[in-house]
Amino acid sequence: MSKKKTVAQPPEKFTGIQLTKVPASAAGIKAIRSTFKHIKEEVGIVKGIGLLSKINQKDGFDCPGCAWPDPDAKRAFLAEYCENGAKAIAEEATKNRVSPLFFASHSVAELAKLSDYEIGKKGRITHPVLLKPGSSHYEKISWQDAFDLIGRELNALSSPNEAIFYTSGRTSNEAAFLYQLFVRQFGTNNLPDCSNMCHESSGAALSETLGIGKGSVTLDDFNHADLVIVMGQNPGTNHPRMLSALADTKKNGGKIITVNPLPEVGLLEFRNPQKPLKWFSGEQLTDIFLQVKINEDVSLLKAILLLLIAKEEANPGSIFDHDFITQKTQGLDQFLADLKRYDLDELIENTGLDKSAVIEAANLIATSKKIIICWAMGLTQHKNAVDNIREIVNLLLLKGSIGKKGAGTCPVRGHSNVQGDRTMGIWEKPKDSFLDALEKEFKFNAPRDHGYDVVDAIEAMHSKKAKVFIAMGGNFISATPDTEVTAEALQNCELTVHISTKLNRSHVIHGRQALILPCLGRSEKDAQESGEQFVSVENSMGVVHQSTGHLAPLSEELLSEPAIVAGIAEATLQNSKVVWSRLVSNYDFIRDKIEATIPGFDNYNERVRKKGGFYLPNNSRKGDFAPTYTGKANFTINAISDVKLEKNQFIMMTIRTHDQYNTTIYGLNDRYRGVLNERRIVFMNAQDMTEQGLQKLDTVDLISHFNETQRVAKKFLVVPYSIPRQCTATYFPEANVLVPLKSVAHTSNTPASKTVVISIEKSK
Ligand SMILES: Nc1nc2c(c(=O)[nH]1)N[C@H]1C(S)=C(S)[C@@H](COP(=O)(O)OP(=O)(O)OC[C@H]3O[C@@H](n4cnc5c(=O)[nH]c(N)nc54)[C@H](O)[C@@H]3O)O[C@H]1N2
Ligand SMILES: Nc1nc2c(c(=O)[nH]1)N[C@H]1C(S)=C(S)[C@@H](COP(=O)(O)OP(=O)(O)OC[C@H]3O[C@@H](n4cnc5c(=O)[nH]c(N)nc54)[C@H](O)[C@@H]3O)O[C@H]1N2
Ligand SMILES: [Mo]
């Protein structure tokens, strides 16, 4: 696409790679050592230990790492965190400060030349700052002047739809509710969020088939499952506490099948860091590992389904749950008719797997009555991502494995409150019933047209249809696809505003004017007029609970996210009947409003104070599928991948290392994959390397191919790895420049950042 060289991408420089042996197991003593190294370097040991003792405790704060739930009952002291949760905390509680003085001595152009790792390590922002039109440096600004500037720019737009309000998934329920209320009173549904790039495909598939966009299992279900299938997910790195749940499944006699193009270490063997006796001897987790080709999961599922059908037909009633199917589902006949069009051997060939492995997996599924299927980005970020998840539902429906103990759907969420943000109305396609409730409670006319999601928002800014971009957290430029196009989009804006904790690349790829508004982090005390506040969040399994910060705020200038929203709202809205400052004076008042408008939050203020919180209603957990468009659970007909690779082309997936939280780069190691001190690498199959005339650590350029357009990312080092033929992997965000903006999943519009077609050339 754009040939011109900009500074939007991370710099093309190497940091000094070392390759080591891939470890045999995850966690264990090395994880503990790594935890304390990060804590010591960023926070200091004494304060650090105090912090760790509060993570995920019932009186403590919700770990800003992932959305994996905490045990409902007993919680170990100093133990409900993992290595990567500790790193997340270390990043937030860092000693490093980005003050007005820092900005005075570092120009924006200079900062843009740094890598995301280097930018992030500069630390927490201490004061609100403004980049004036044409200026080279951010300067201190008062909160009121910042709010007034935003109000003026928003009110100068010819339509509220020219403004975009992004949200990342760390925002608390209270802040998210206020934010969407302000945005809708301003007059638009332009509320894109990180979910659009994350589990949107899960939400789309699950709502259509089961009548709720959330998963159905609870943590306890892992104790009762006969079989857990983990597809397209790397919990050893991204949800380490999930490994304990998988270990419980095994302890109780259940089995585990893993479907992944990579042999992710954490899934294969695990040393429980919370059980010192297990630090030195690993627990094997995966029983059957299916090393599937990228984006061939539908082929695999269809092959398994054909094998199951053959068994069922040979011995009717032995494999499928006919009572469940008859009472609760619709669409079986059409689904079966479509499935039988496929040829088993062709499907298996697509997957790149041995037939015997697929048969072994089908046999285990055949004899299991209670099955949980877990998945994450390996399934949601493809063109046919929604098909992946609907096909999972087909399998679970045939087995009657939804709505009973030990069974169900488990989309494993990313950001710690991404699910709660959606519940609070952060969505560009709100339901009418939700808007009706807002209108009734707050006496205004809510906008009804759907707003922009992430991809549409980038296109709108690119074509200058949108002119103000406001982000509640996140790092838009580094998280989104097509880095150069997104950069042009942001640079077209009149004003870009980031409500952030830490410095990131989105602060230096900016509009004509730019504001950074620094906010309190999860771990910090939040004092308002009525005293210290807590916030609430919803985890991946629909439990809403409180989160209370314990540290003194790092700067007196910081405001809480709800207070910032209130400040912007007061400076922008002339006729609002909401008394914003009153809502912020005591977050109980915000929760009262949530209770009044969103189902499932009865007695919110009382129930959220109960230790451990409360479960939100979930129809599919109860085996009730009435909310779907047919009133039953729907079988669906799904397509296998239509990606055709030409000679010398590869599929590339963009994945996370063990040392990052999305675009926050904790360190330069990917310990579990044996890569140290380097992020610009491409994992390749050794035979493919030979065919391409490539050697270990050769420097290559990656060229992505999409609808006749090409995008180039220069200077990556080739690392031979256990990965299927024609499959490659790079790290996010370095490779985002290769992900075409228009290459998206159907229905969910999620960027297909795990199906990128590339060719590989030696660098000149
Ligand atoms: N420490 C840490 N924790 C995190 C995050 C983080 O960056 N760091 N991010 C958080 C967020 S927002 C999210 S969404 C989650 C992400 O959690 P994950 O989804 O685990 O993250 P990814 O690194 O994107 O890994 C995707 C996995 O899917 C596999 N995969 C890729 N393509 C395919 C495919 O076609 N089929 C199959 N079967 N597998 C495939 C990859 O090999 C990889 O193992 O983690 C959350 N937790
Ligand atoms: N190629 C490729 N692209 C991807 C993905 C992929 O797998 N491959 N994954 C996608 C996924 S799953 C996701 S979820 C998105 C993530 O997209 P985002 O959520 O936009 O990105 P993050 O890196 O999580 O955001 C980090 C920034 O959030 C700010 N922050 C941290 N804590 C707080 C807080 O408490 N409050 C506020 N206001 N700000 C805070 C900090 O300033 C930090 O720099 O990226 C997506 N992009
Ligand atoms: Mo995510």
- Report the candidate in 100, 182, 170, 174 with the shortest Cα–Cα distance to residue 137: 100
Q: Which atom of ligand 1 is nearest to the CA of 261?
A: 42
| The pLDDT of residue 6 | 52
Which among 234, 292, 666 is the best mutation to test ligand 1's pocket, defined by most ligand atoms within 8 Å of the CB?
Answer: 234
pLDDT at 53 over 90: no
For ligand 1, atom 2, the nearest C-alpha belongs to: 238
pLDDT category, 272, cuts 50, 70, 90? low
pLDDT category, 80, cuts 50, 70, 90? low
- Report the candidate in 737, 450, 562 with the shortest Cα–Cα distance to residue 173: 562
CA distance 296 to 303: 11
DSSP state letter for 446: -
| The pLDDT of residue 1 | 41
| Ligand 2 neighbours (beta carbon < 6 A) | 168-170, 194, 197-198, 377, 381, 414-415, 472-476, 479, 499-502, 504, 519, 521-522, 561, 654, 662-664, 732, 736, 739, 753
| The pLDDT of residue 81 | 60
pLDDT category, 64, cuts 50, 70, 90? confident
Q: Which amino acid is it at 445? A: N
Centroid of ligand 1 to alpha carbon of 759 (angstroms)? 23
Inter-CA distances, 715 with 301, 679, 712, Å: 37, 11, 10
Tokens 């009706």 locate to: 436
| The pLDDT of residue 276 | 54
| The pLDDT of residue 504 | 97
- Contact between 423 and 174 (Cβ < 8 Å): no
User: For the residues 599-614, what does the mean pLDDT come to?
Assistant: 95
727, with CB counted inside 10 A (0-12, 13-18, 19+), is buried
Ligand nearest to the CA of 474: 2
Q: Which atom of ligand 2 is nearest to the CA of 656?
A: 7
pLDDT at 631 over 60: yes
C-alpha count within 13 angstroms, C-beta hemisphere, residue 24: 6
- Contact between 31 and 378 (Cβ < 8 Å): no
| The pLDDT of residue 736 | 98
pLDDT at 148 over 80: yes
- Contact between 174 and 587 (Cβ < 8 Å): yes
Centroid of ligand 2 to alpha carbon of 112 (angstroms)? 18
The whole model's pTM is what? 0.95
pLDDT at 3 over 60: no
For the stretch 116-134, pLDDT in tens is 999 999 999 999 999 999 9
pLDDT category, 361, cuts 50, 70, 90? very high
pLDDT category, 2, cuts 50, 70, 90? very low
Centroid of ligand 3 to alpha carbon of 376 (angstroms)? 8
% of residues, the chain, pLDDT over 70: 95
Centroid of ligand 1 to alpha carbon of 243 (angstroms)? 14
Tell me the β-bridge partners of 757.
651
Centroid of ligand 3 to alpha carbon of 143 (angstroms)? 31
Tell me the β-bridge partners of 513.
495
For the stretch 558-569, pLDDT in tens is 999 999 999 999
For the stretch 571-580, pLDDT in tens is 999 999 999 9
pLDDT at 28 over 80: no
Mapping DSSP to helix (H, G, I), strand (E, B) and coil, where does residue 559 land?
strand
| The pLDDT of residue 63 | 74
For ligand 1, atom 30, the nearest C-alpha belongs to: 378
CA distance 469 to 270: 43
% of residues, the chain, pLDDT over 90: 84
| The pLDDT of residue 279 | 53
| The pLDDT of residue 721 | 97
User: For the residues 85-105, what does the mean pLDDT come to?
Assistant: 88
User: For the residues 604-618, what does the mean pLDDT come to?
Assistant: 95
User: For the residues 707-714, what does the mean pLDDT come to?
Assistant: 95
User: For the residues 217-227, what does the mean pLDDT come to?
Assistant: 97
For ligand 1, atom 37, the nearest C-alpha belongs to: 232
| The pLDDT of residue 78 | 46
| The pLDDT of residue 678 | 98
| The pLDDT of residue 686 | 98
pLDDT at 280 over 70: no
Longest distance between any two alpha carbons in the chain, whole Å:
76
pLDDT category, 36, cuts 50, 70, 90? confident
- Report the candidate in 414, 479, 518, 423 with the shortest Cα–Cα distance to residue 169: 414
| The pLDDT of residue 87 | 81
pLDDT category, 273, cuts 50, 70, 90? low
Inter-CA distances, 753 with 299, 510, 735, 746, Å: 20, 24, 9, 13
- Report the candidate in 565, 466, 575, 493 with the shortest Cα–Cα distance to residue 159: 466
Which among 257, 422, 540, 653 is the best mutation to test ligand 1's pocket, defined by most ligand atoms within 8 Å of the CB?
Answer: 653
For the stretch 681-691, pLDDT in tens is 999 999 999 99
pLDDT category, 47, cuts 50, 70, 90? confident
CA distance 236 to 24: 12
For the stretch 377-421, pLDDT in tens is 999 999 999 999 999 999 999 999 999 999 999 999 999 899 999
CA distance 198 to 474: 13
Outline where 694-756 has alpha helix (H): none
pLDDT at 85 over 80: no
For the stretch 443-500, pLDDT in tens is 999 999 999 999 999 999 999 999 999 999 999 999 999 999 999 999 999 999 999 9
CA distance 520 to 206: 34
pLDDT at 188 over 90: yes
State the virtual CA torsion across 168, 173, 176, 178 in degrees, nearest 10: -160
| Ligand 1 neighbours (beta carbon < 6 A) | 65-66, 84, 198, 231-234, 237-239, 259-262, 264, 292, 294-295, 297, 376-378, 414-415, 653, 655-656, 660-662, 754
Q: Helices H, strands E: what count in the chain?
A: 30, 33
pLDDT category, 700, cuts 50, 70, 90? very high
